[in-house]
Amino acid sequence: MKIEGKNAVREALKAGTTIDRLVVQKGLSDQGSQMIIDDAKARAVKIFFRDKEHLDRESATGRHQGFVAEITDYKYTDIEIVLSKCAEKEHSLVILLDGIEDPHNLGSILRVAECAGADGVILPKHRSASVNETVIKVSAGASAHVAVSKVTNINDAIRLLKENNFWVYATDMSGDNVYQTKLTGKVALVIGGEGNGVKVLTKKLCDGTLSIPMYGNLNSLNASVACGIVAFEAVRQMKS
């Protein structure tokens, strides 16, 4: 798997991700680039200096910023490991994704999850985007720091979370006002897919539904934006 861009490569190095090969554009002299190069050398990463045209050919997006790395395939975290880390904590936040198929949305959600200090992100094996090069790029390196679990069935994951004392809430336009709902303790948020939202059966399994007040002409937000609003409201309450 290839990752590209300064943020993605920098965070992969910080997280101890195995980098098999790092291609760096010749002539980079800024401090940020040099710090990445020095860190890679300190970790005995194989570095190849090439001209910009070479990196342009290797890059999937054309926005490599002078860095393209080959890493081992993304390693998902077992959901039981996520739950074990939450067991002794007073407050926990887990985000479940119900049909997020756009890798750009998934990358943005991973960035939200990492910035919010979420304990994990859970996504289904089917009808969902996977963590790939695009997701890693969009996440700006967050994918290297947040635990992502892949499960066969998202509804079974909800049942397991409830067995482990989580309150599970789906996001839905008809739900309770997120700013008037108690979101402390162990909280799991279900974010629905683009266009279809959270599935009916999945909503029934949840302890409640949450909505974000709207004041404009449109009645919905992008999935990653909605995730950010709801997640940070939960964090605000937990930190209060």
Domain boundaries, the chain: 2-71, 79-239
pTM: 0.82
- In sequence order, the β-bridge partners of residue 124 are 151
**% helix, strand, coil for the chain, step of 5:** 40, 25, 35
Mean pLDDT (the chain) is 93
Residue 200, pLDDT score: 94
Residue 71, pLDDT score: 87
Count of beta carbons in the 10 Å neighbourhood of residue 23? 21
Structure confidence by residue, pLDDT tens digits, 25-49: 999 989 999 999 999 999 999 999 9
Name the fold adopted by 2-71: 60s Ribosomal Protein L30; Chain: A; (3.30.1330)
Nearest to 112 by CA among 97, 129, 133: 97
Q: Right CATH number for 79-239 from 3.40.50.300, 3.40.640.10, 3.40.190.10, 3.40.1280.10? A: 3.40.1280.10
Residue showing tokens 């409201």: 233
